[in-house]
């Protein structure tokens, strides 16, 4: 009887055994990577806003404090998207003829709000409150990134639950003094973990068990 398979079939069989294992491992690995990719989380995606507003110019260039526009960040769950009148504080005096600002003037005249597109959009089953974070020493930059370097606002973090839990389990990694909350490019004076532990105590940040309880965020 003639041979069914050529001699090389042995090598192919061995190769395919390991190849299959490798393929399964790679497949699993790439699914885990894909789940965390910007493609899925929408991080670093470009969002088209009604106005070409630049945080780079206003925060980085002019040195505005975050709270000048996001007025309720220290007292409310919502940080606040500024009203047209806040824009007009300056823009009734400068850049009066700029075509970029036409929608702002239009909004001011008609009283119709500008419709900004929310960049950091958490799922509806998550309860999030800005004021508690800001008051416990979580910097704006910690979650929103270097806003002062962003011509157009982008989401930098994944906003996935593991990202939230990273801090809720060990807040001392990120806490900073309240006075520095809105600072961009903050560098801790000394060991972050040491400072973090001290601030955690000083600001009465709750223990990890409470912070990671289901109903802390899912109410």
Partner 1 sequence: MLEKAKHADPPETRFIAPGHTFGSVTEKISSAVLTKRTPVSWFIGFAVGFALLQALALGVTWILVRGVGLWGLNQPVGWGFAIINFVWWIGIGHAGTLISAILLLLNQKWRMSISRAAEAMTIFAVMCAAMFPLFHTGRPWLAAYWLLPYPNTMSLWPNFRSPLVWDVFAVSTYFTVSLVFWYTGLIPDLASLRDRAKHRLLQIAYGVLSLGWRGSARDWQRYELASLLLAGLSTPLVLSVHTVVSFDFATSLIPGWHATIFPPYFVAGAIYAGFAMVLTLMIPLRRIYGFEDFVTMRHLENMAKVMLATGLIVFYGYQMEAFFAWYSANPYEWFMMKNRWTGPYAYLYWTLIFCNGVAPQALWFKKIRTTPLLLFGICMFVNVGMWIERFIIVPTSLSRDFMPSSWGIYHGTRWDWMVFVGTMGLFLTCFYLFIRVLPMLSIFEVRTLSTSAVAKEESGHA
Q: Nearest approach, Cβ of 4 to partner 1 (angstroms)?
A: 5
4 binds partner 1 (CB under 8 A): yes
Per the listing, tokens 């005249």 go with 109
Q: Nearest approach, Cβ of 176 to partner 1 (angstroms)?
A: 24
Nearer to partner 1, 116 or 163 (CB): 163
In whole angstroms, give the CA distance from residue 195 to residue 188. 8
Nearest to 196 by CA among 182, 176, 178: 176
Q: Nearest approach, Cβ of 119 to partner 1 (angstroms)?
A: 20
User: Of residues 11, 13, 126, 193, which one binds partner 1 by CB under 8 A?
Assistant: 13
Q: Nearest approach, Cβ of 35 to partner 1 (angstroms)?
A: 5
Across 111-217, where does the E strand assignment appear? none
Residues between 124 and 163 that touch partner 1 (CB under 8 A): 158, 160-162
Torsion of CA 67, 71, 75, 79, to 10 degrees: -90
User: Of residues 21, 22, 32, 132, which one binds partner 1 by CB under 8 A?
Assistant: 32
Nearer to partner 1, 163 or 203 (CB): 163
DSSP state of 207: P
Q: Nearest approach, Cβ of 165 to partner 1 (angstroms)?
A: 5
In whole angstroms, give the CA distance from residue 74 to residue 140. 11
Nearest to 155 by CA among 17, 8, 47: 47
Torsion of CA 116, 122, 128, 134, to 10 degrees: -60
Q: Nearest approach, Cβ of 88 to partner 1 (angstroms)?
A: 42
Residues between 159 and 198 that touch partner 1 (CB under 8 A): 160-162, 165-166
Q: Interacting stretch for partner 1, rule CB under 8 A, among 30-38, 63-71, 73-81, 95-103?
A: 30-38
What does 82-127 look like in DSSP terms, one character per residue? PPHHHHHHHHTTSSTT-GGGHHHHHHHHH-PPP-PPPSS---TT--
Nearer to partner 1, 158 or 192 (CB): 158
Residue numbers of the site for partner 1 (CB under 8 A)? 1, 4-5, 9-10, 13, 32, 35-36, 158, 160-162, 165-166
């Amino acid at each position: 009887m003639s041979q069914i398979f050529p001699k090389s079939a042995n090598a192919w069989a061995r190769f395919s055994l390991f190849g299959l294992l490798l393929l399964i491992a790679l497949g699993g690995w790439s699914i885990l990577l894909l789940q965390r990719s910007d493609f899925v989380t929408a991080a670093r995606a470009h969002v088209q806003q009604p106005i070409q507003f630049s945080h780079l110019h206003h925060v980085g260039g002019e040195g505005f404090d975050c709270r000048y526009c996001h007025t309720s960040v220290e007292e409310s769950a919502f940080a606040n998207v500024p009203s047209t009148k806040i824009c007009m504080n300056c823009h009734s005096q400068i850049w009066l003829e700029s075509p970029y600002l036409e929608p702002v003037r239009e909004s001011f005249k008609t009283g119709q709000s500008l419709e900004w597109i929310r960049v950091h959009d958490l799922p509806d089953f998550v309860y999030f409150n800005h004021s508690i974070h800001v008051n416990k020493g979580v910097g704006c930059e910690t979650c929103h990134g270097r806003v002062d370097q962003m011509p157009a606002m982008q989401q930098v973090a994944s906003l996935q639950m593991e990202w939230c839990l990273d801090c809720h389990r060990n807040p001392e990694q990120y806490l900073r003094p309240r006075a520095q909350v809105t600072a961009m490019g903050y560098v801790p004076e000394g060991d972050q973990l040491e400072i973090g532990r001290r601030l955690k105590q000083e600001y009465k940040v709750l223990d990890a068990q409470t912070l990671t309880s289901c109903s802390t965020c899912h109410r």
